[in-house]
Chain A
Amino acid sequence: MILAFLLLPSVVIFIVSFLNITKQKTVLSVVSLLVLIPAIWLFFLPRPYPILGPYLVADDLNTYIFLVSSIVAIGVTLAMATLDKHVSISLKAYARFYRFFALFWMGLIVSIMSNNMGLYWIGLETATLSTVYMIKTNQTSFARRESWNYMIVGAIAISLILFGIILIYSSAKPILGEEAMNFTKLLQNAKNISSIFLFETGFAIVSLGMFIKMGFFPMNLWLANIERSSFYPIAALFSGILESAVILGFFRFSHIAKIVNFSHVFVFVFVYALLTIFIVSFLIFRAKDFIRLFSLSGIEHMALITIFWVSGGIFAALLHFGAHAFLKPALFLSTGVLESQGQYKIAGALRGYRGIKGKLFYFLTSLFLLAIISLPPSPMFFSELFGFSSMIKIAKESHHLFLMIGSIILLLFLLLIIFYKFVEIYQSMKYEGEVVEKRVYTPEVYALLLFAIALVVLITPMSFAFIGAIS
């Protein structure tokens, strides 16, 4: 029953996108708001709740991630309502975007709610393939090239994930049979897996596929190019929703791998993520436009989440994940508006907004920009504090305290470079350049307000208690 409600909005969007009706654009935006209803409903059901037997199960972790993704989806669809005011897009392309958004959302539901490795992969593949065509809604040669690029590199990444899944399944099949595909069963029987090398090889390949999809080393610029070439709501979907599904998979797999051999997982992920942050911080320092800047910053935050997660800071990782999922789409949307018709540069971008809507837009954009670099009381400030403390805690237990302190100092230095660059950009947006009259539209301001409210709710004691209870 709940599955039907989960899938219903996307089915309706898919059908409406084919109909030749007046006000199709408005109908599509309104129908998209329905995705939030089943997400909230899941919170009132006992957990773990079987949505489809043992295949799709709602637990605390995926319910939280699904709710966050639903809020992001609504913010994005609100901003979509006035996309044609900022970029040139035909009504046909608009309907096509929603058609593939519906497929994307179906794949995402399967992927996030899945308690089965194979189904998780199928959902992720569906979501990946549907985004290929969403990139193509921007009909430029750059977007065309990048959509093919995404098709090939995304397919390689997703193939690596399936390759790893097959190896993991193969390692656990002797003890679990066909149930070796089930995440819960794997977690319960992780200590009994005899072919540890086979499992760890599978985990390393799965992680590599996920890291490629998230734009980790050495694929840092790949994601930035794709987000630059597509329309800004698609960049917001990438960073706020697709990466959520990928990181959820990483959470699930690493949870099992940590039981099999904790130190191997820790060293592999920690070194990989640290290397990624090292490269990305310098790339951010050289970034010259908004979208590339935020895209690279998204990679940095994903790397931080993985570090916190493998360090045992589950609360820190999930809080950081939630904050990133709200902040990054908000920034992509607001800078999409700032770059309206491609005519505004970084210098003076925030100047020229008049009226209540304009002032509110100015205020919210500044707030998001300062929150992404973890200035208090941003949720990222708290998550980084908790994350670093969990790193120290784990180092004390493993007798590698000085090595970890050295790593934290290096990490802080790299974050400092990013902090410096963001502050410099903020100053440039606020004080430099000419004052040109600019316009912002009501749905965009509503979208940003939604993200701002979601961020405030995220740092309430109630949210902290919920996230803290997720294990």
Chain B
Amino acid sequence: MENLLIGLFLATLITAFFTTRLYRLILWYSLNSLTLALLAIFMGMNLHDHTMITSGALTLVLKAIAIPYILKQISQRFNLPRQLEPSIKVYYFIILIPAILVFTFYLANPILSMATSNTNYVAISISALFLSLLLIIEHKDIAPQIIGFLTIENSLFLLGTTATEGMPMMIELGIFVDLMMAIVIINLLFKTEHT
């Protein structure tokens, strides 16, 4: 089950590159967060780790439902352009994405031999980080760049969940609070820009 979810996590992220509509991009981010949340819940159940189950549930509520909803509201309120024009041509990603995946697996190889469990997940989370950075570079508009920033958060959460089998609850809660603050700031920035 975990393998299926991690595959879906990467697939939803890769699909986001080929999207040229804003709402669809938000949807892919939401699905990406959903797979992440389910992964954390399943891993937590296997490890009998209540902290991981709680943070998975929080991810589900916050990142898969609340944040995409708020982002959609913001984009409607401030009439953000729904048609995205990537600064890198979409078809180049057919070469770029596999290249990044191979490169990150190669880069993560020495780390994989040291990590105690879920070694492939570590490599996937590192590649997800690189892909998220690429998503930011791909777009000139602010809205998809924000999605890129949020997927960076997702890849970090994946790394925290898999490489360390969960970080202390206090830290994870703090990260969630910071994420919400980021959304508030984004909202305020748009608000002042349009008044």
Contact = CB atoms under 8 A, between A and B. Distances in A.
Contact of A148 (B159, B165, B171, B189): B189
Interface in A298-347: none
23 contacts: A118-B167, A118-B171, A119-B170, A119-B174, A121-B175, A122-B174, A126-B181, A129-B185, A132-B185, A147-B189, A151-B185, A156-B133, A156-B136, A156-B149, A159-B153, A162-B175, A166-B159, A170-B115, A173-B164, A178-B168, A181-B168, A197-B110, A201-B111
A118 B166 CA distance: 12
Which secondary structure dominates where chain A touches chain B? Answer: helix
Interface residues of A, number: 39
Interface of B: 110-111, 114-116, 129, 133, 136, 142, 145, 149, 152-153, 156, 159-160, 163-165, 167-168, 170-171, 174-175, 177-178, 181-182, 185-186, 188-189, 192-193
A228 interface: no
A347 B161 CA distance: 57
B111 A197 contact: yes
A256 to B, nearest CB: 17
Nearest to B142: A148
A198 interface: yes
Contacts, number: 99
A167 B167 CA distance: 11
A384 B82 CA distance: 55
B147 to A, nearest CB: 11
A126 B142 CA distance: 21
B149 A152 contact: yes
Nearest to B171: A118
Contact of B189 (A121, A151, A195): A151
Contacts of B153: 159
A126 B189 CA distance: 16
Nearest to B122: A170
A155 B178 CA distance: 11
A152 B136 contact: yes
B145 A152 contact: yes
Contact of A169 (B110, B129, B164): B164
A207 interface: no
B32 to A, nearest CB: 16
Interface in A147-176: 147-148, 151-152, 155-156, 159, 162-163, 166-167, 169-171, 173-174
B152 A174 contact: no
Given A129-B181, A174-B116, A167 B156 contact: no
A195 B87 CA distance: 40
